[in-house]
Structure 1
Amino acid sequence: MKHLSRFLLASLAILSFSSIQAQDENNPWAIGVGTNVVDFYPTGEDAPAGGWFDQYFNGDHWNVIPAVSRLSVGRYIGEGFVFEAAGSINQLDKFGDESLDKLSYYAVDGSVNYSLRALLNDGWFDPQLGVGGGYTWVDSEGFGTLNGTAGFNIWFTDNIALNVQSTYKHAFQDENNPHFQHAAGIKFVFGGKDTDGDGVYDKNDECPETPGLVEFNGCPDTDGDGIEDRKDACPEVAGLAEFDGCPDTDGDGIADPQDECPNEAGTAEMNGCPDADGDGVKDSADDCPNEAGPAANNGCPYQDKDGDGVLDKDDQCPEVAGTAANNGCPEPTAEAISELNEYSKTVLFDLNKATIRPESAEALKAVSDIMNEYPATVFHIEGHTDSQGSDKYNLNLSKERAASVKEFLTANGVPANRLTSEGYGESRPIATNKTAKGRQDNRRVEISLDKDKEMKDKE
């Protein structure tokens, strides 16, 4: 036993440096080395002893030699099953309580073992059950056996385990005695596939064909910045995690790929470029980088005579303060819009026609005069009807009447691009359609500001 102890300690010291995992499809091969014990005692009333498992752990009945006496080779076959072939030698000097002249013992066995390790969350304790058969020789007499095995592995490292097992061997010939063969030894596994040779087996390698690092499950980090290439927006250049692996050379908080001035600190508003005068024009495009000015004038100051915030070059009314929304011109007041609509209410049309009656010309001339006071304003002409007649008829009539008013105003000096028209039929009444007075009020033309058209003109 002294030699066996030395052997086991030496094997443990050498193999504990390996990083191979427990036996599975990732490391399909296993080699075991150890010793074995043969015991005829606890195998039934016909044996040289008592009943089944009687004094099962009593070493006084064991046949054992103080040396390595068992070798095994195992191959993982899937779903927790392992096929194992083993060869063992021993020397028999005890047959139950009886003493024997020393007899040689040789056995070759094969079994299919099932691991229960997965049921225990793949921990260090790995119980197993197995069934198989073999052939045993006692001196020169040989006989076949049917074997049942129970045992366990205790994994010290990812690839090395202590194996302990007990096998009941039932002899096929009546004249041969059934017996137990216990075994203990060291088992280690190997043979995992590692296509890219990075030390991470293909089963666990998320990049099996590209050498990588263990900490990234086998995927590479080419620039060594601690961010694996798959998640690194700049895999060839070392960078920072906050920028998805890209660098920020000028330290302005903007990653180089998004920084239009990567070597000069700037601001996010300027896409990483500096704006020394803070006028919203980056220095490289600013003709006056140290003097604030509008972008429209390349960053240089520009005149605004009427002080309305609209540069003179863009101000359609540079001498009169207006609004930026109206291109520097004053916007019509509520009073002006009200006055326009007072005139528009007096516009009359021929019955069921879009023809403007002559007596309405004076009112529409007054409307055009007011509109021309606001040359940057777009006015919208709305046509409305009462509910008499079909919806379709009323809608068409309202469109035609609104268009007639637009044509009249265009002919009287209002630019066509400052007018829009639309008919709404009977959909927007301002009074009841149940009375003549209400219907008269609903037959009308209204004028409003067309903000949408103004915005499109500016674009």
Structure 2
Amino acid sequence: MKHLSKIVLATLLVFGFTSVKAQDANNPWGIGVGVNAVDFFPTGNDSPLGGYFDEYFNSGDHWNVLPALSKISVSRYIGAGLVAELGGTINQIDKYGDRSISDLSYYSVDGSLDYSLRAMLNGGWIDPVIGVGGSYVWIGDGDDEDFENFSQPTLNGKLGLNFWFSDNIALTLESRYKHAFDAEGARHFQHAAGIKFIFGGADTDGDGIYDKDDECPEVAGLPEFNGCPDTDGDGIEDRQDACPNEAGLAEFDGCPDTDGDGIADPDDECPEVAGTAEMNGCPDADGDGVKDSEDDCPDEAGPAENNGCPFEDKDGDGVLDKDDECPEVAGTAANNGCPEPTVEVVNELNEYSKTVLFDLNKATIRPESEEALESIHDIMHEYSNTIFHIEGHTDSQGSDEYNLKLSKERAASVREWLVNNGIPANRLTSEGYGESQPIASNSTSKGRQENRRVEISLDKDKEMKNTNN
């Protein structure tokens, strides 16, 4: 018993500060091995036996110990602190109380229901156990005529201590009283010491890591991440991976950097093309501070207010080349950088328009007007961004209604000829004004002739896109 006390004390000193767990739902199965001692003395009042618990620890005089592995058990956690245990022991009996006897064989099959008091001690490494159960015991085969062979069941009570010095291993000490009803002399105590190994924890997600050690018990994972998954296999567990479905780098919290520009894809507005942090991962080829996707001139540096293009005006007309529809020819801002007809050009058009003749009281253009119309066409063609307005006028002879109708038809005829000969319809408008805008007196033949005319002017109030045919 002195040696046993030393073993227990050493165990307490070595493992006293270790945080451990006991047999429970996470480690339901246990296997125990050890040695046992049988003591008949403290179970009676007549020699050679003493009174109950008399000389209980007198191992030298009364204990029968087989110096070999003599106890084995299997146990299963049931729940609520209860453990069911089934075991077997063997021994050699040569002491019956104070008397020596011939060697008797001892065999026992034991079952018990044990209850752990560990929870009352705040779950520490010391685990007191109480239990009840029964055994079937065989004692006999010896030559001592004073000891009757014994073979019958016993009712057992158990006290024990488990010292958990790791999550799965405990030093066990126990003492059982085995009460035999039919053979008073066969009542005895059986003490045991050994090692218990527990295993077989729950593994809800089937990843081979018991739930008690699994930080993600509902999702299959990896041992290196304590049971948590790494879906994309990038070495960063999903809980810490900002991109759990895309393999990435630790420096980007598990997200990839496809273009290798040092900016993680989720933060990179151009993840397929290397760029700069200032441009949120997009390139700026000309270094003008305007990213290429928004730079109208990605290979020429220019300010943001000019959409990344340089302020160029090759023809010097005050309209930047980027907005100039005629960048090689000076024009006006009103005409998108293209030239507009001067007063001289408009006068020239009207000199030709005066020679456009119509059949009497008709809108039909006479053949001899062909040369004048071609000249008008050529001038209009030079000013491709200009909208021209064709006006029809008459003298005062005839009714106002008739004159207005005739003037509109003649202006439309000139417009139609020009359209048919290549001037875009959206660059021409026409209107008839009848006798309402005379330029000479209608009292004379000469004045009336001057009033019967076609005039051409610039239509600055209408944009080409809104012009009707």
Offset from partner CA, 1:218-261 (integer Å, 9 cap, x none)? 12224444421244232344323453310234555531133122
Question: For the residues of structure 1 that align with 2:155 and 2:124, how far apart are their CA atoms?
Answer: 31
- State the partner residue of 2:271: 262
1:152 aligned to 152, 156, 161, which one? 161
- Counterpart of 1:261, as a letter, is C
Tell me the amino acid that sits aligned with residue 201 of structure 2.
Answer: G
- Which residue identity lines up with residue 256 of structure 2 in the other structure? P
Matches within 5 A, 1:352-431: none
Q: Once the 2 structures are TM-superposed, how far is the Cα of residue 295 of structure 1 from its aligned partner? A: 4.2
3-state SS of paired residue (2:175): strand
Structure 1 equivalent of residue 145 of structure 2: none
- Distance in 2 (CA, whole Å) between partners of 1:172 and 1:77 is 30
Q: Which residue of 2 aligns with 1:299?
A: 308
TM-score for the superposition, normalised by structure 2: 0.53
SS of residue in 1 equivalent to 2:266: helix
Tell me how far apart the structure 1 counterparts of residues 312 and 80 of structure 2 sit (CA, whole Å). 84
Q: Report Cα offsets for 1:160-193 as digits up to 9, x if no partner.
A: 3332211122333463443210112232223334
Q: How many residues get paired?
A: 292
Q: Deviations over 1:399-455 (max 9, x none)?
A: xxxxxxxxxxxxxxxxxxxxxxxxxxxxxxxxxxxxxxxxxxxxxxxxxxxxxxxxx
Contact 2:39–2:188 (CA under 8 A) maintained in structure 1: yes
Q: Which residue in 1 is equivalent to 2:291? A: 282
Please report how far the alpha carbon of residue 273 of structure 1 lies from its aligned counterpart in structure 2 after TM superposition: 1.1
Which has the greater radius of gyration?
2
For 2:41, the equivalent position in structure 1 comes to: 41
Per-residue CA distance 1:263-319 (angstroms, 9 max, x = gap): 544344532113355654212331334655454542224599xxxxxxx99xxxx9x
1: CA distance between counterparts of 2:86 and 2:293?
79
Inter-partner Cα distance in structure 2 for 1:21 and 1:214: 20
SS at match of 1:166: strand
Distance 1:119 1:252, change over 3 A: farther
Change (3 A) 1:26 1:295: same
Alignment of 1:37-436 (within 5 A): 37-43=37-43, 45-46=45-46, 48-49=49-50, 52-120=53-121, 122-139=123-140, 140-173=149-182, 175-194=184-203, 197-208=206-217, 210-250=219-259, 252-262=261-271, 264-275=273-284, 279-289=288-298, 292-295=301-304, 297-302=306-311
Report if aligned partners of 1:134, 1:145 keep a CA contact under 8 Å in 2.
yes
What is the deviation of 1:51?
5.5
Number of the residue aligned with 1:348 = none
Q: Deviations over 1:120-147 (max 9, x none)?
A: 5655443322222223233243343332
Asked if the contact 2:150–2:183 (Cα under 8 Å) also holds between the matched residues in 1, the reply is: no
Taking only aligned residues, the RMSD between alpha carbons, in angstroms, comes to 3.7
Residue 21 of structure 2 contacts residue 125 of structure 2 at CA under 8 Å; is this kept in 1? Answer: no
CA distance in 2, matches of 1:90, 1:168: 16
Residue 159 of structure 1: how far off its partner (Å): 2.6
Q: Percent identity?
A: 70
1:59 aligned counterpart, secondary structure: helix
SS in 1 for 2:68: coil
Taking the aligned partners of 1:86 and 1:189, their CA distance within structure 2 comes to 15
Cα pair 1:232 1:244 within 8 Å, conserved: yes
In structure 1, what is the Cα distance between the partners aligned to 2:119 and 2:246?
A: 42
SS in 2 for 1:274: coil
Contact 1:93 1:100 in 2 (8 A): yes
Q: Which moved more, 1:147-156 or 1:69-78?
A: 147-156
Contact 1:143 1:172 in 2 (8 A): no
Report the residue type matching 1:128 in the other structure.
V
Distance 2:204 2:238 in 1: 19
- Could you say which residue in structure 2 is the equivalent of 1:421? none
Distance 1:302 1:73 in 2: 91
Whole-Å separation in 2 of the counterparts to 1:220 and 1:53:
61
- Deviation of 1:114 (Å): 2.0
Task: Return the letter of the residue paired with 2:73.
Answer: S
What secondary structure sits across from 1:32 in the alignment?
A: strand
CA contact (8 A) 1:21 1:189 kept: no
Q: CA deviation at 1:32?
A: 1.8
In 2 relative to 1, CA 280–46 (structure 1 residues): closer, same or farther, beyond 3 Å? Answer: farther
Q: Which stretch of structure 1 is more off in the superposition, 126-135 or 79-88?
A: 126-135
C-alpha contact 1:153 1:164 (8 A) present in aligned 2:
yes
User: Quick one: structure 1 residues 299 and 119, their matched pair in 2 at CA, closer, same or farther if it must change by over 3 Å?
Assistant: farther
**In the superposition, relative to structure 1, how do residues 250 and 53 fare at CA in structure 2: closer, same or farther (>3 Å)?**
farther
* SS at structure 2 position matched to 1:42: helix
